[in-house]
Amino acid sequence: MTSAVVKRAFKYRFHPTPAQAAELVRTFGCVRKVYNLALAVRAEAWSRHRERIGYNATSAMLTAWKRTDELAYLNEVSSVPLQQTLRHLQAAFTNFFAGRARHPRFKSKRRSRASAEYTASAFRYRDGRLTLAKMDRPLDIVWSRPLPDGAAPSTVTVSRDRAGRWFVSLVCEDPGVRPFPVTGTAVGVDLGLDRLVTLSTGEKILNPRHERRDRTRLARAQRELTRRTRGSANRRRAALRVARVHARIADRRRDFLHKLTTRLVRENQTIAVEDLAVRNMVRNRRLARGVSDAAWREARSMLEYKAAWYGREVVVVDRFLPSSRLCSVCGALRGEMSLDVRVWRCGCGAVHDRDVNAARNILAAGLAVSACGAGVRPQRESSRAGRSAVKQETLRRERRESPCLRGGGSQPVNLTVLP
């Protein structure tokens, strides 16, 4: 049985000519305008009449908008990116109604990412040269890595970041992505601030703290920005310097996470990670900067899509698992433990490094989930979904009868497996 060919995006930097830059800026503005207009219409229809307007209706509205004098400038750019932004809005509403995302928000000229998506009918790719609609010459792309042999991009996305850099992303099939050879290794991953990753094997990888390393440079650039007059050219240049520092931090962080996650996926068949409430953690002003710099959610996303590419399994363990306070040897649960306690001794005599012990418990819970195909949650009075918890006697009986709850027969785990 052959695996499906993976579609992936190849992102490159390019340097547009003044004419190309002007055309793309116009396209970005029109895309943003159409998105906001369609969002306003759909929101108003729902708030007034409880009516859902879909993509087909907004596409017909776009045709009508182009015929008005006020929005006639929409005809000056390619129609494909305008249609694509309506499809993106439809996908955003689909995710919202399914409970997977928040309600779509209006795009801002300064805060939103400037981008436009072209399908195959709006670009030409031949012999390594990419030409977009409404342009008479190909883009000057810096080919930092080759596309797969015989690649035929299905979509092209052009974007510009806050630092003024232009990027083009080509989505195409990559036959070179194949599952890695199956291994019997599994690893638990505990994410932290001082040590970005602690593995159940005992290995600890320090947090590079990219933002802290550039904090002085960032603070200086931000001070210069605050001194500039709003709306002036000096303020725009100062804002560009701030954006470039942020871009440097983000690039280095992303590069480090790519190397780390690729290594974990390559070496392990099963990877167990903890589901962390990052959105709640960043509300703590003492932890917000460090949590944002650690980029736990980005690391988990990389693990998940790389595992899907290469035939690995990522298991996410419930965030309420008391992984740090649960003895990975005897299963005893210790009482409350402050964050400054890094090493503790269990009543069975085992001495635990806090992070390594947490990673081992995460691994055991992940193996239980993988074996039983169920969600795992620690014992507590009641569940967050409103269901009453199983009594302690029933839990103990289930633990005796189910090898999954005993960590696969090796490391006991004090957990409840949900149906």
CB contact at 8 A, 78 and 118: yes
Active site residue 190: yes
In degrees and rounded to multiples of 5, residue 197 shows phi and psi of -135, 130
Distance CA 88, CA 86 (A): 5
Three-state DSSP class for 123?
strand
Q: Which of 95, 73, 92 shows the shortest CA–CA distance to 82?
A: 73
Angle at 286 between CA 284 and CA 290, to 5 degrees: 95
Structure-token pair, residue 37: 């207009």
The DSSP code sequence of 79-105 is: HHHHHHHHHHHHHHHHHHHTTSSPPP-
In degrees and rounded to multiples of 5, residue 123 shows phi and psi of -150, 165
SS3 content of the chain, % helix, strand, coil (to 5): 40, 20, 40
CB contact at 8 A, 140 and 16: yes
Candidates 117, 211, 293, 355; catalytic one:
355
Distance CA 38, CA 107 (A): 11
E strand or H helix that includes residue 67: none
CB contact at 8 A, 152 and 234: no
Candidates 23, 274, 293, 318; catalytic one:
274
Distance CA 324, CA 360 (A): 9
Three-state DSSP class for 70?
coil
Active site residue 381: no
Candidates 23, 117, 190, 293; catalytic one:
190
Q: Which of 184, 320, 164 shows the shortest CA–CA distance to 245?
A: 164
Active site residue 293: no
Catalytic residue annotation: 190, 274, 355
